[in-house]
Structure 1
Amino acid sequence: MKFRKRTLIRIMLYGITALAILMTRNISLMRENKAKQTFITNSYLRALEDLAVAADNINSTLEKQLYAGTAEQQAALANKLFNEASNAKLAMSRLPVTQLNLEKTNKFLSQVGNYARAAADKSAYGQEPDKEYYNNLKKLHKFAVKLSDDLWKLEKEISCGEASFDEISDNYMEIESADVAESFTDYEKGFTSYPRLIYDGPFSDHIMEKQPEMTKSADTISKKKALQIASSAVGVSSNDLTVIYNRDGNMPAWIFSDTDGTVSCAVTLQGGYVSYFVKSRQPNSSELSLNDAIEKCSEYLKECGYSNMKVTYYERSGNTVTVNFAYTIDDIVCYTDLIKVTAALDNGEILGLEADGYLTNHTRRQFPEKTMSVAACKQLLSPYLKCVSSCKALIPLEGGKEAYCYEYKCKTDEGRNVLVYFNVRTGKEEQILILLESENGTLTI
């Protein structure tokens, strides 16, 4: 009897142990599956955000294409459109929509850049775009706006838990989420008036890094000197600042922070320039007017030794305002030499500075004396734009290059403000910027 009792106890213990092991294993598997599902969901969400950003870029570039008046600018924008559409297709391929019939959406992303490029090529040989081309661009822009709006709406719904990537399993690449599938299917149905397009092959861009002009020949400073510069810039005692790391790259710098981690400041090793600083304080009220805060930013730059800086644009965010300043010389606005300053609207405290653009590009320049007339370049504007004013400007180009231009501020038939830049020597249309204006400031796209 004792033998049977002991055997029974052993069997029960073995059973309990096995059950505990099984339960532990099941819990572990559940955690692994949960972690896997979270990873997959986050991957999908990143892909959706990438797709939405690409759609935004297609949207703004298509609108710029409407306002391009020269073959060179049309070709440059067409090239950008193709690359942005390629990014969108790549992002969409990472989403769980493989079994949906998205023929029209894929067609739109495949053709939008190439169609614009084909027209740009014809324009380069003297065949100007016709009314049908501009009408087609308007239709494409309409589809791009809807795609962008729908994607950001879907992203918001998923982030807030109102929609989800359902039915994710081991075969997740072959299974569509009902919420996501419905959104893409609804957009697919929207191609009721999609134009017939003809296109050629792609262009490609080449972007070069530029060595900072202000630091490349400057002497190296000591850490002690850099500490003094940082202390003066942020208004914090040097005893409360320490080096947290050294930044490498084209503009090496000492990175300082205070003991509470509320201030960060970068001072370049060559020349001892403040590359940036930021304070984490969040103002709780707005006691100053925007004009007073902008004046505070201007005064701060003068105290830092920056002269001839002109306010170009500003943006209000909560109880702070960020002001863009551009260097000016002989009435030429150098948009290449930019500094951003952020001020608090409660007491005018300077909360941030970004000077990398200025440090990278600022140098002595020789501007050409023989130029095309402002009237001659004005004649090259798109018929969809009405010129309001003009001035001279130096603008940055891709690859680190610069262009001395006439800047024309124009209005569209819809009342939007657009800046168009023509090279003063060649008459080449170098750049188009669309102004986004509101009571909180002005931004460009």
Structure 2
Amino acid sequence: MDMVTTDCKEDRQSCLCPLVLKKVNKGVLKIKRSWVIPLLVGLLVVGVTGYWGYNQYREKEQLEVYMGNKYQQAFYELVEHVEQLQVLLGKSLVSTSERQNIMLLTDVWSHANTAQAELNKLPLAAQTVYQTAKFLSQTGDYCHAAARQNAEGKALTDGNRKQLEQLRQQAIKVADNLHNVENQVFAGNVNWVELVKSAKNSLDNGDNNLPDNVNDSLDSITDEMDNMPVLIYDGPFSDHIVNRKPQDLKGEEISRDDARQRAAKVVNISNEESISQGTTINSKIPSYNFQIDAGDEGTYSIDISKKGGHLVTMLNNREVDKSSISQSEAVDKAGDFLAINNYPNMESTYSEIKDNIAYISFAYKEKGIIIYPDIINVQVALDNGQILAVEALSYLMSHHSRDLEEAEIGENDARERASKTLEQIENIRLALIPQASLKETLTYEVRGTIGGETYLIYVNAQTGEEEQILKVIMGEKGTFAL
């Protein structure tokens, strides 16, 4: 034992070295392992991230190619339909057959509508789209009205042909400018995806980064639309409809202070601090707008017309979380509100309930005749009967003193005509209805059923012809017509 101990003491270093080396080697191995694992994880993360990034890049690239192809297809379709417009308009000018003209003009209407749909798919400047869309809408609508005129046995007048020629010349100019853009597409100067980005740049800094010749072509389209002739015809896009003004707005001009007092009276607010000073709105009916804080009853936005101090619109967006009054009670409250605010003789026509709010339409009634052009929409909260919204713009634009003509056919005649298709007739009354051209037609409104469904048939009170048919939708939430 002593010998062994002595030997170990004498050669302590040599005895310890293998142990130390073994421990050191283990430590190095542990250190290596502690570095290797994070390194592998890091490389894996970098690899996965790189792969994900590459996939994202490829997907973005593929999406851009897809969108570019879609834009290009829409553009080519637009060019083709505009070319068809000028060809068909030219044919209609040389045709002397009413039957042929009906077909040609109806085709113009169809191509104009399709061209407008393709135009709306393109990433073009808003002004270019608006002006070109207006041209397409008016061209199609004018030709549709002319085709309807032919169908009624009325030949095209010299005035009709003059306007058709003006539209044809306009279509030629639009097509030429579109072809200029098309040539730039073929030359590789226009990339539709880049056009989207340039539109954003244009909004950000006013620079759209497009080649000058492309800009010139697009600007030329806008300029040509500015020179488009005024179109007056029997259709909804006629200039006399687009630019129409109130027919007979009553009253004198009022000051902003007077309008402010009027707004306070509408919502029965006496605290002047709750009412804003108001801003001016230059719309079809120039008005003053006021914001009114009604506390727990929400905030109102009210427009009062400068002329006459009429309530034009009112809106309160407070949430209504329950229903405590019935639909009929809501109709009564809305009718009373209109009468108090200088809208008398209004009769409820249709109503619907949605999210605890009653949406009610009223039409003016005169001499027992429902005057549908003079319509006001009202929203009533069903928790407390509060009037949340009023939209009287249609009424104020259309209402005027009318010389209502007498019906040429009797109620029994209208009943007999409608009974040929309806199984049961529930009600008949006289109604003045608006046409697309803003003309008004006296009709018999015949309400009846067929196959368990309810319809409204409007029979012309002068000629006995059907003017319009609406389907009545009745449900738990109300009644309305389509």
TM-score normalised by structure 2 residue count: 0.51
Alpha-carbon distance between aligned partners in 2 of 1:263 and 1:89, rounded to the nearest angstrom: 38
Given candidates 291, 304, 324, the residue that maps to 2:361 is 324
Q: Do the aligned partners of 2:311 and 2:341 also contact (CA within 8 Å) in 1? A: no
Instruction: Provide the residue aligned with 1:223 in structure 2.
Output: 256
Q: Does 1:405 align with 2:477?
A: no
Instruction: Provide the residue aligned with 2:402 in structure 1.
Output: 365
Given candidates 265, 277, 301, the residue that maps to 1:232 is 265
Q: Do the aligned partners of 1:395 and 1:404 also contact (CA within 8 Å) in 2? A: yes
Instruction: Provide the residue aligned with 1:213 in structure 2.
Output: 247
Q: Which moved more, 1:221-230 or 1:235-244?
A: 235-244
SS of residue paired to 1:218: coil
Instruction: Provide the residue aligned with 1:442 in structure 2.
Output: 479
Q: Do the aligned partners of 2:290 and 2:302 also contact (CA within 8 Å) in 1? A: yes
Q: Do the aligned partners of 1:377 and 1:427 also contact (CA within 8 Å) in 2? A: yes
Q: 1:422 to 1:262 in 2, by over 3 A?
A: same
Q: Do the aligned partners of 1:389 and 1:410 also contact (CA within 8 Å) in 2? A: yes
Instruction: Provide the residue aligned with 2:310 in structure 1.
Output: 273
Q: Do the aligned partners of 2:260 and 2:278 also contact (CA within 8 Å) in 1? A: no
Letter in 2 for 1:273: H
Given candidates 425, 432, 453, the residue that maps to 1:416 is 453
1:397-440 per-residue CA deviation (whole Å, 9 max, x = no partner) reads 11222111111112233x22111112212223222222222111
Q: Do the aligned partners of 2:381 and 2:388 also contact (CA within 8 Å) in 1? A: yes
- Over the aligned positions, Cα root-mean-square deviation in angstroms equals 4.3
Letter in 1 for 2:252: D
Consecutive unaligned residues in structure 1, runs of 5 or more: 1-22, 48-74, 96-112, 126-168, 174-202
* Higher relative helix content: 2
Considering only CA atoms, is the larger Rg found in Structure 1 or Structure 2? 2
1:75-96 per-residue CA deviation (whole Å, 9 max, x = no partner) reads 9xx979966993598259949x
Q: Do the aligned partners of 2:303 and 2:313 also contact (CA within 8 Å) in 1? A: yes
SS of residue paired to 1:301: helix
Q: 1:231 to 1:171 in 2, by over 3 A?
A: closer
SS of residue paired to 1:295: helix
Alpha-carbon distance between aligned partners in 1 of 2:236 and 2:111, rounded to the nearest angstrom: 12
Alpha-carbon distance between aligned partners in 1 of 2:417 and 2:152, rounded to the nearest angstrom: 14
Q: Do the aligned partners of 2:245 and 2:284 also contact (CA within 8 Å) in 1? A: yes
Question: What is the 5 A alignment of 1:101-120?
Answer: none
Give the count of matched residue pairs.
Answer: 289
Letter in 1 for 2:441: A
Offset at residue 172 of structure 1 (A): 12
Letter in 2 for 1:334: I
Letter in 2 for 1:223: R
Letter in 2 for 1:351: L
Given candidates 54, 79, 90, the residue that maps to 2:117 is 90
Q: Do the aligned partners of 1:321 and 1:343 also contact (CA within 8 Å) in 2? A: yes
Offset at residue 171 of structure 1 (A): 10
Offset at residue 392 of structure 1 (A): 0.4
SS of residue paired to 1:213: coil
SS of residue paired to 1:399: coil
Offset at residue 225 of structure 1 (A): 0.5
Q: Do the aligned partners of 2:347 and 2:362 also contact (CA within 8 Å) in 1? A: yes
Given candidates 323, 334, 357, the residue that maps to 1:297 is 334
Instruction: Provide the residue aligned with 2:465 in structure 1.
Output: 428
Alpha-carbon distance between aligned partners in 1 of 2:344 and 2:325, rounded to the nearest angstrom: 24
Letter in 2 for 1:388: E
Alpha-carbon distance between aligned partners in 1 of 2:372 and 2:404, rounded to the nearest angstrom: 15
SS of residue paired to 2:276: strand
Letter in 2 for 1:396: P
Instruction: Provide the residue aligned with 1:310 in structure 2.
Output: 347
Q: 1:287 to 1:302 in 2, by over 3 A?
A: same
SS of residue paired to 1:242: coil
SS of residue paired to 2:402: coil
1:140-181 per-residue CA deviation (whole Å, 9 max, x = no partner) reads xxxxxxxxxxxxxxxxxxxxxxxxxxxxx96999xxxxxxxx
Q: 1:239 to 1:81 in 2, by over 3 A?
A: farther
Q: Do the aligned partners of 1:294 and 1:323 also contact (CA within 8 Å) in 2? A: yes
Greater relative contact order: 1 or 2 (C-alpha under 8 angstroms, separation 6 or more)? 1
Alpha-carbon distance between aligned partners in 1 of 2:401 and 2:306, rounded to the nearest angstrom: 22
Consecutive unaligned residues in structure 2, runs of 5 or more: 1-49, 75-101, 123-140, 154-191, 197-233
SS of residue paired to 1:343: strand
Alpha-carbon distance between aligned partners in 2 of 1:438 and 1:377, rounded to the nearest angstrom: 28
SS of residue paired to 2:404: coil
Instruction: Provide the residue aligned with 2:230 in structure 1.
Output: none
Alpha-carbon distance between aligned partners in 2 of 1:428 and 1:79, rounded to the nearest angstrom: 22
TM-score normalised by structure 1 residue count: 0.55
Offset at residue 258 of structure 1 (A): 2.9
Question: What is the 5 A alignment of 1:23-102?
Answer: 86=113, 90=117, 94=121
Q: Does 1:393 align with 2:431?
A: yes
Offset at residue 298 of structure 1 (A): 1.8
Q: Do the aligned partners of 2:256 and 2:278 also contact (CA within 8 Å) in 1? A: no
Q: 1:205 to 1:393 in 2, by over 3 A?
A: closer
Alpha-carbon distance between aligned partners in 1 of 2:108 and 2:475, rounded to the nearest angstrom: 27
Q: Does 1:343 align with 2:377?
A: no
Offset at residue 329 of structure 1 (A): 1.8
1:253-293 per-residue CA deviation (whole Å, 9 max, x = no partner) reads 11111369932100001111000101111111111121222
